[in-house]
Chains A and B, each alone.
Chain A
């Protein structure tokens, strides 16, 4: 159990009922360890985001079990009603677009969750500045997202995801809006973060070029999740 960051057992998600019942995930079993960067791939509409939202305690599964670290958070029902607290304390989110809060400047965006968690303002600021320096945007701390480039905004978004020192980062196509070079640099950055911060990262991607930089690939096949190793030579979509 020591290295386990995410464990999913027999996870099921259905939408609708009766004749209109749609099975999206039907018995997913997988585990992601700390320090791992895992790519989650599947054709559009196969349930990648739904799976990500279930692990992120946003979408309630139909049945199954979810463990975050050693804590069971779902066992056919949410163990706690405070799923938002779990998100705030254990999970970092990165989205396709940066989705920074436009009326908060960079430093406030990054310190919002830690301060909500009760981290003193000074400490939250110090750590946020460390993260921003790490991403080479320390000088942008007082700027608003509207004053930054797309790449800079995405780095702020990653810093925000790390600011609460999460055990897990869930990234929903974080490179979709970037060119290949920037995408590779972001994925490399995520890999470094996974190792440096000992965080498990699940990254939804459609971009084959990103796969070699991941440790493992989870693919949704026939409504189940199958784990694959990253091909050693060349890049081919699994």
Chain B
């Protein structure tokens, strides 16, 4: 039996492939959009995954250092450590900085931690050059996408910092590259005022030093203790908000990027609808171009089913080829995006199912034309 779709595609192979590639680029963008969303989730979890803590103790009534401003005293880590079931604690700071590199200013998130504490947010797996922090002052570990090199010096605030290590894939939930510095340096940057400001405050009767603050205290729990119970103890005794790792994860992935993900989701849905309409229009045009032939085929007795099969096969093949070229396209360009793009096979599979469904739906327009084609139109008079 002659396969009409195969013959038609063979005859117009170049046009068919170029059309599929065109639709494929659109699908590639859909995949990239999905990848941007996945990338946001991965980015949001980088710090959490690297820290591996059980509890986040933050300023009462706030969502913690990533979602809301939070300040707690540094010595809170000692009093939390004293609570039964807590195995280790540390104070951390998080702040956005503008680094003035030789090329251009780069917005980064600085993570401040005590290099001699039990918690080290720099995962050895992510350290690609140099070492971690080993001194209390003026050392910096930077993410490789900032563009700074190991051994370089860079001014931040009133001091010059020396880059002692380079990490890969370390970004904040907002996608900004991370830099790691000692807690003392971070506190000075975040909480110390200029001399002029201190004098001004004193003149107003304000005489406080706030440099011994941190944004949060993190804690790990001894085995055999319930994380929830220990968290509840801290809440009651320290009057602080306490979040488990899972809750912090939810704050980052749901609260922080929820609107962004909805925006991306809507954009992706619109792109899929546009792709479906484009495929439908292509099939409609391809069918219109063949109306004379379809009338002739109907006149000489070719069953509707055989002609409709041609339309459906061509549409589905167009969808499949577009999907394949879209995948190739997205894999070629995804690394060029400034933020992390994670291409998941499960997303590609989902898109494949959607496109397959959309292709079959699109073929309905062609099938309707076939059903209504008048065989007598093949003959003049």
A→B interface (CB under 8 Å)? 44, 48-50, 52-53, 56, 58-59, 84-89, 91, 93, 95-96, 99, 101-104, 108, 111-113, 115-116, 121, 144, 160, 172-173
B133-141, B189-197, B301-309 - interface stretch: B301-309
Using a CB–CB cutoff of 8 Å, the interface residues on chain B facing chain A are 1-2, 4, 7-8, 10-12, 292-293, 296-303, 306, 375-376, 378-381
List chain B residues, Cβ under 8 A from A85: 301
Measured CB to CB, the nearest residue on chain B to A91 is: B301
Query: What are 20 A-B contacts defined by CB distance under 8 Å?
Result: A44-B381, A49-B379, A50-B381, A53-B376, A56-B299, A84-B302, A85-B301, A87-B301, A93-B299, A95-B378, A99-B296, A101-B296, A101-B297, A103-B4, A103-B7, A104-B2, A112-B302, A144-B11, A172-B379, A172-B381
Q: Taking A58-B375, A58-B376 as contacts, is the C-beta distance between A113 and B302 under 8 angstroms?
A: yes
Q: Is the CB of A116 within 8 A of B12?
A: no
Main SS class of interface, A:
helix
Alpha-carbon separation in the docked complex, A70 to B303 (Å): 24
State how many angstroms separate the Cβ of B257 from the closest Cβ of chain A.
50
Shortest CB distance A63–B (Å): 19
Q: Which of A48, A103, A111 gathers most chain B CB within 10 Å?
A: A103
Alpha-carbon distance A93/B379, docked complex (angstroms)? 10
- In whole Å, how far is B78's beta carbon from the nearest beta carbon of chain A? 82
Q: Given the complex, which residues of B lie within 8 Å of A160, measured CB to CB?
A: 300
Tell me whether B381 and A49 are in contact (CB under 8 A): yes
Q: Are A102 and B293 in contact (CB under 8 A)?
A: yes
Residue numbers in B under 8 Å from A56 (CB-CB): 299
Q: If the complex has contacts A53-B379, A115-B1, are A101 and B293 also in contact, measured as CB distance less than 8 A?
A: yes
> Which residues of chain A come closer than 8 Å to B381, judged between CB atoms?
44, 48-50, 172
State A84–B8 Cα separation when bound (angstroms).
23
Q: Is there an interface contact between A113 and B293, defined as CB atoms closer than 8 Å?
A: no
The 5 closest A-B pairs by CB, nearest first: A88-B301, A49-B381, A103-B11, A87-B301, A103-B8
